[in-house]
Structure formats: C-alpha cells, structure tokens
Amino acid sequence: MKKILGHLLLLSLANLCFSLPLSTRSRWIVDDHSRARVKLACTNWAAHLEPMLAEGLDKKPVDHIATHVKEMGYNCVRLTWATYMFTRYATTTVAQSFRSLELHEAADGIARNNPGFLNLTVVDAQRAVVEELVRKGLMVVLDNHVSQPMWCCGDHDGNGFFGDENFDANEWLHGLEIVAKRYKHTPMVVGMSMRNELRGTLQNSSVWYKYVQKGARTIHKANPNLLVIVSGLHYDLSFEFLKQKPLKKIFKNKLVFEFHRYAFSTGQRNLWLTQPFHTACDRITREIEKEAGFLIKGENAAPLFASEFGIKQVEMGRVERLFLGCFVGYLAEMDLDWSVWALQGGYYIRDGVRGLDETYGMLDSDWSSIRNPDFHQQLQLIQHKIQEPNSKGPTYQILYHPLSGRCIHANNSEVEVGDCLGFSEWSHDENGHSIQLIGTELCLSTNGKGKAVTLSEDCNSRESRWELVSNTKFQVANRDANGDYLCLEWDPNNSSRVVANKCFCLEQDASINCLHSPQTQWFKLISGNVR
C-alpha cells in the first residue's frame, strides 16, 4: 500500500519559480518565460489611513511582518495607498505625520521597532515597506484605495466616484502615474489596483468606461510591466454592465478585474440565518457568477482577482462561518486569484480611535501570532495553484470540506480528513459512478450507516457508486440497499474519520434542523491538474 502515499501531492513547490513581468492569457495570470500560471494568493495590508504609513510598524520590525506574511503561505501583498500621499503630502515625513495626528505613543513604537522610518517621507516609507516585502520574495499589488487618507468606504465619504468632493479624476490620474513610474525598476511590484470600491450617488457606467480606460492607459504608459487591475461598481461587486458592452482591449494581456465580497455585502447577512446553508450558498454563488464570475469566460475572458473578502474572526458566528465556507469553496472551484482582508492586527488610528483592533486581521493585535488558526487553515488549499493551463496531466478531483479547509486523504485502506498540503487525487467521471483513487484500482466504498468509509477493490459494487445530491450538489451520496441515500460525513470535532450517514435535508427544507445540521456533510469536488 506504499503506492498510495506516492499519490499524495505535495503542493508547497507549486508557486516557487516564475519569471517577470506577469501578463494575462485568457482567464489566467501567467509568467513571462514559460507562460505558466502564477496564482496570486495575497493578503491586504492597509497603508492608506490618515498616518499614511503601513500599519503595525509601531508593533514589529517591518522584516518580521514580511517574514510572517511569507510564513503564513501568501505569495503577495495588496498594499493600499492614498492618492494625496503622492500629490499633496509627498514631502511629509512619517514623524511629522504622526505628530500632527498626536499619535505620540505609536511614534514611540516606530522609534523602537523601525527607527529608520520616522525620518522618511511617507512615500519613501512606502518604498521601504515594498522593498522589504520584495526581499522576502513576495509580490506586491499597489492598490489606490482612496484619495484622501482615511478609513474606507462609505457612500458619502467624498472618495467614492469620479467627481466626488475628494475624487478629482485628474489628480487621481496624476497619482497613478507617479506610483507606476516609481516602481518601474521593481519588477516584483506586479500590478496596480486602479481604484478601490467605486461607489456612491455619482456612479455611472459611461463615466466608468471613460476613466477606467484613461487610468489603464496612464498606468501602462508609465510602467508597461504592470498588471492593470480594474474595479467594478457598487463597492466592487458588479460588472454586469460589461455584458452589454465589454471593455475594449486597451492593450494586450495586462488587464485583470477585481471584485470584493463580504458576508454583509448587499445586505445579505439575513440569508444565512433564514435559509439552509446550501440554499443560501447556491444563491450567493449564482449572484457572484452573474455580477463578476462571468468575466473569466468566453472570448473576452480575463483574470478575476477576489481582492477583498474576509470575516470577523473573533466570536465567529454562524453567518461568518457559512459565508466563508461558501466563498472559499467558490474560490477553490474557480481557482481564482485572491487577497484576504486583512493582514493588520490593528490600526494606529481609525475613525478617530487610537490603537483600534482589526477583528478581520490575520494577525492578532500584537502582530505576533495568527489571530484565528482555523481561518488560516481554511485558506490553505487555495493558497496553491489548483489549475494550470499548461498542464499536460489529466484532471483529478480533490474531495474538499470547505468549512474547515480540509481534504480527504487515502491512508492504506482507510480514508481520513487532513490538511490540504497533501491530498489524494480522485477520479469521478460521472454522477453515479465510482470515486477512484487515481493510479490504483481502489474506490471509495460505504460499509453501512454510521460506519467508516473505506477503500475497496470492487469499484463496480453498489457500495462504490456516488452521486452529488441535494439541489445544490454539496453532498456526496451512495444509495443503500433500501434505496436510501447515505452521505459522506465528517465531524470536525470528532476524529479524522469519514463515515457514511443518512443525508440531511436533501430537499429544500427550511426547517430549523436543516438550518443547523448538514455542515458535516458539506463536501465539494474540486477539479485540479497541477502536478
């Protein structure tokens, strides 16, 4: 049975080497030399608030923070910036900025942890942060987050759309040009997000076309190496207007779209409280497809970067857990590029509050450890390339439990749930057929209700036939001798064993039992071909 272990795929090497600059090829971001895919797996690092400095430099030396990012498995940082940092405050030093905001304690912290930063101008401080990330082998996407340095985003904050009080289009273009030029000789700065979360009462798709094209040309002219990343309307939820009128190919192979999604997006929190999870998830997934997911398909296909999503990680409730499971499942299935909100454990000052904790932060408020290891685990599979357009190998399936971010492994004749650094490759060619361990004659088989699922050599038996059931295909089921469905089930709180059990809630059923129970049966088959 040694052979089976050989089929555990070690993903950790998947993203190590690539050549720059990056460009696009249909829906993929690819490297320069072999045109192999480079998947962005980023974390957002805020640096656009009033102090105009990457957060956390009062807590830890910048190289510690960059090392932490790397060790958590990211290959890139989406670093935010504000236009006025470059167009109005370029000569302001970090010390002056903190003094004017009376952030004396934070300034003392910077003096202790990053003494070199206080005398730098805010724009040179940005460069110093970028250079440290690059030294650690991390790619950087520079995200124009706001014009005026401040927390973002509201409908009436004056930074939402071209023509708003603090959103002069020419000043914005000027800022893009300065920043694009500044990093011309830093190839690991691979892209620029043109503007974060367009929004507010002035939103208008013809104005969007006009300025997005200008912005893209400005960036490309200043620095033709960069990926140009374009945001949609309504807080970066929607690109539906592109269905009627696709964005003209402004230039070859550099255009990427970005969208955002949170549990609270478009007031949908309630959905998770009133609908069974698979109904809610199905609805949200369809909505994402309609508003943004369509961009990776068809003749105008371009990469789609899920450049913000995240959850409140403390006292995580039902809504957060289910939203995240659903969304991570979608990211895995589509194998999108992504960036989680956010790295920072807290802020120098946000909304007037000094030292505010970031409950969405991957790091805790001391910037010393991972805030929520379960959430961190949940991102493990998607940190790696799952699909590769250059791959010659056949497609396999990963049996994935998106709520926990864990994968099913074959271990001798047993199957168990473990982390996703090494997962087993399965083939399941048709609904109702076997789920076979690739490279072997072994198939997943039931041994009756409540019993462990094992591997069997009889791939044609009734016990080895599996279908995706429930209206949204989130459960993997075998029909027993009585014609009843038994579903794959894993209880994250109780061993790594996978059993077969009566399927929960196969019909659309909004009963209270259904709201709470079937998460242990939530599996997805994720297609991959990376070897």
Ligand X SMILES: *[C@@H]1O[C@H](CO)[C@@H](O)[C@H](O)[C@H]1NC(C)=O
State the residues that interact with ligand X by CB under 6 A: 115, 118-119, 204, 206-207
Residue 268: CB atoms within 10 A of its CB come to: 17
* Minimum separation from the CB atom of position 245 to ligand X (A): 13
- Choose between 14 and 207: whose C-beta lies nearer to ligand X: 207
SS3 (DSSP) at 267: helix
CB 58 within 8 A of CB 355: no
Answer whether 326's CB lies under 8 Å from 474's CB. Answer: no
**Which CB sits closer to ligand X, 118 or 176?**
118
Task: Provide the minimum distance between the beta carbon of 381 and ligand X in the complex, in angstroms, as a whole number.
Answer: 42
Q: Is 463 a catalytic residue?
A: no
Helix intervals (H) in 295-425? 318-334, 373-378
Q: Which is nearer to ligand X, 63 or 441 (CB)?
A: 63
Identify which of residues 90 and 510 has a Cβ nearer to ligand X in the complex.
90
Q: Supply the Cα-derived Rg of the chain in whole angstroms.
A: 24
DSSP character for 453?
P
Contact 230, 216 (CB under 8 A): yes
Minimum separation from the CB atom of position 492 to ligand X (A): 48
Q: How far is the CB of 531 from ligand X (least distance, A)?
A: 50
User: Per the omega criterion (within 30 degrees of 0), is the bond before 342 cis?
Assistant: yes
Place of tokens 């409950």: 359
Q: How far is the CB of 247 from ligand X (least distance, A)?
A: 17
CB of 119: closest distance to ligand X in angstroms? 4
Q: Of 34 and 119, which CB lies nearer to ligand X in the complex structure?
A: 119
Q: Which of 71, 105, 441, 457 is catalytic?
A: 457
Active-site annotation holds for 457: yes
Let me know: does 311 contact 323? Beta carbons within 8 Å: yes
Q: Looking at 50, 55, 132, 197, which residue is catalytic?
A: 197
Q: Enumerate residues 6+ apart whose C-beta is below 8 A from 318.
A: 272, 273
Instruction: Give the pairing type, strands 76-82 and 41-45.
Output: parallel
Q: In the bound complex, which residue of the shown chain has the CB atom lying closest to ligand X?
A: 204
Smallest CA-to-CA distance from 330 within 296, 366, 396, 281 is with 281
User: Between residues 117 and 183, which has the closer beta carbon with respect to ligand X?
Assistant: 117
CA distance 322 to 318: 6
* Residues carrying an active site annotation: 197, 457
